[in-house]
């Protein structure tokens, strides 16, 4: 392997003996890290370092980025906060998260965004960015808000979910798309149809949640979004795609639309999951039957799906124990994204390279993340280190989220996160946490100007 002149041979952290999974393929390599960034890749037999990690038998992946989490702070800290949510993330091998705006107050202003960034620094174990929620009142401000430090972009709720952010009328949606420059993310369920079908909810029967928020509600909103985005010539990101017809429609609109699926929608199926978990299985959009799940996997195998998200949306066990439909929608997932998907890799449902594309290269490509998303010299030293042969049973004692539960409890998986490296620091190693040192994710479309000396 060629050696560039001037590369350092003394590092802050040296990872030895691993199998590197990267844009260049899969191969044995050492990784030298200095000043929070990757400084050298390859055989480094004479290198020295302040700390050396023996990663023999392990695979080193680009740091996993979860682009949809709800960490509930401010205002709902009894369920989760930025510290505990990020703790859960790094225990599961996730190095960066994009957090959603439906907090109290909602993240709809520069002040609210800056407050979240301040709260995250020094308290979060992983790096972070925060979506700005679109409302009918802040549309004209969105071009400025979407480019502020720490902003992941704009999030639009076309259907009501947890919180009071809702934009469902076409004139406002069209105005949003006309004004913004970055790729906006959309929760696509048709609010009018949800209102019309609300009577289908049956007291004490959470399985009726999937009947109420039916596939047509998702398809109608997604079809409207495709029409508006195409007319505006803007890029949009459709979150947690859950239905077959949606996936087939989105396959025809890849010029404007990117696609997220969640671990839950790829793994669970209704109505069985409601019999197993009751209201713990309640989420928006809902879990659907296996025929829809099969088409989600088709979309993933055909390249229609761009990223995986967890839609980590914790509620307390007490809240979840409420009788449907008074029970809240949402379930934790940031900590289980990596082990559940590695188990799918072990079962042959996707390749390890495809997993990397969905969780690091994909987020970087869609959102224009600066310095993350691949293992390359000069990039942030964000690494997810996994043991593909480890077999574990997911146990709620392992859960780092404040909510204290997971819908995957008791599930045996093959493939486990061993280490989470964030900008060269050990955020987690063999289940032990490091020091919270999270910083805002930077974006190429919003980098501040620098003075070159």
The residues, any chain, with a CB within 8 Å of residue 70's CB and separated by 6 or more, are 80, 99, 100, 102, 162, 311, 312, 313, 314, 330
Instruction: Considering the candidates 311, 343, 380, 387, report the single residue annotated as catalytic.
Output: 311
Name residue, tokens 């100007």: 449
Give Cβ neighbours of residue 421 (< 8 Å, ≥ 6 apart): 13, 15, 33, 63, 95, 381, 382, 383, 384, 385, 427
Supply the DSSP symbol for 448: P
Nearest to 106 by CA among 78, 130, 139: 130
How far apart CA 97 and CA 110 sit, in angstroms, is 20
Q: CA 211, CA 424: separation in Å to the nearest integer?
A: 47
| Known catalytic residue at 311 | yes
Between CA 78 and CA 72 the distance in angstroms is 8
Q: What does residue 84 show for φ and ψ, rounded to 5 degrees?
A: -70, -35
Q: Indicate the burial class of 276 (C-beta count within 10 angstroms; 0-12, 13-18, 19 or more).
A: exposed
Contact 414, 390 (CB under 8 A): yes
- The terminus-to-terminus CA distance of the chain in angstroms comes to 34
| DSSP per residue, 216-261 | HHHHHHHHHHHHHHHHHT--EEE-S---HHHHHHHTT-TTTEEEEE
Any idea which residues carry the catalytic annotation?
311
């Amino acid at each position: 392997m060629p050696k560039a002149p001037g590369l350092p041979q003394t590092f802050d952290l040296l990872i030895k003996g691993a199998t590197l999974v990267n844009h260049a393929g899969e191969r044995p390599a050492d990784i030298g890290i200095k000043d929070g960034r990757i400084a050298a890749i390859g055989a480094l037999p004479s290198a020295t370092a302040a700390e050396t990690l023996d990663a023999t038998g392990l695979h080193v992946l680009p740091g996993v980025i979860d682009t949809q989490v709800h960490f509930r702070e401010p205002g709902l800290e009894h369920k989760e906060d930025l510290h505990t949510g990020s703790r859960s993330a790094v225990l599961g091998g996730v190095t960066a998260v994009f957090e959603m705006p439906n907090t109290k107050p909602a993240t709809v202003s520069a002040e609210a965004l800056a407050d979240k960034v301040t709260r995250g620094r020094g308290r979060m174990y992983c790096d972070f960015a925060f979506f700005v929620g679109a409302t009918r009142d802040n549309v004209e401000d969105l071009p400025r808000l979407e480019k502020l430090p720490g902003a992941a972009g704009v999030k639009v709720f076309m259907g009501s979910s947890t919180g009071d952010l809702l934009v469902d009328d076409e004139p406002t949606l069209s105005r949003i798309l006309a004004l913004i420059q970055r790729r906006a993310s959309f929760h696509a369920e048709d609010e009018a149809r949800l209102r019309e079908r609300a009577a289908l909810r049956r007291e004490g029967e959470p399985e009726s949640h999937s009947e109420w928020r039916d596939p047509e509600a998702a398809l109608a909103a997604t079809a409207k979004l495709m029409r508006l985005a195409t007319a505006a010539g803007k890029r949009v990101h459709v979150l947690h795609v859950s239905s077959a017809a949606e996936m087939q429609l989105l396959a025809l609109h890849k010029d404007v639309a990117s696609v997220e699926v969640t671990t839950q929608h790829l793994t669970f199926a209704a109505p069985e999951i409601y019999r197993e978990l009751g209201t713990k299985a309640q989420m928006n959009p809902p879990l659907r039957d296996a025929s829809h799940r099969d088409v989600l996997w088709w979309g993933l195998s055909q390249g229609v799906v761009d990223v995986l998200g967890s839609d980590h949306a914790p509620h307390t066990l007490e809240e979840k124990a409420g009788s449907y439909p008074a029970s809240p929608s949402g379930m934790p997932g940031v900590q289980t994204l990596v082990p559940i998907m590695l188990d799918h890799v072990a079962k042959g449902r996707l390749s390890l390279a495809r997993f990397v594309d969905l969780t690091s290269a994909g987020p970087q490509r869609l959102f224009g993340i600066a310095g993350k998303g691949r293992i390359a010299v000069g990039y942030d030293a964000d690494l997810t280190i996994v043991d593909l042969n480890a077999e574990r049973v997911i146990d709620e004692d392992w859960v780092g989220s404040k909510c204290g539960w997971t819908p995957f409890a008791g599930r045996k998986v093959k493939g486990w996160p061993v280490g989470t490296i964030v900008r060269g620091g050990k955020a987690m190693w063999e289940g032990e946490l490091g020091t919270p040192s999270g910083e805002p994710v930077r974006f190429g479309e919003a980098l501040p100007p620098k003075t070159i000396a």
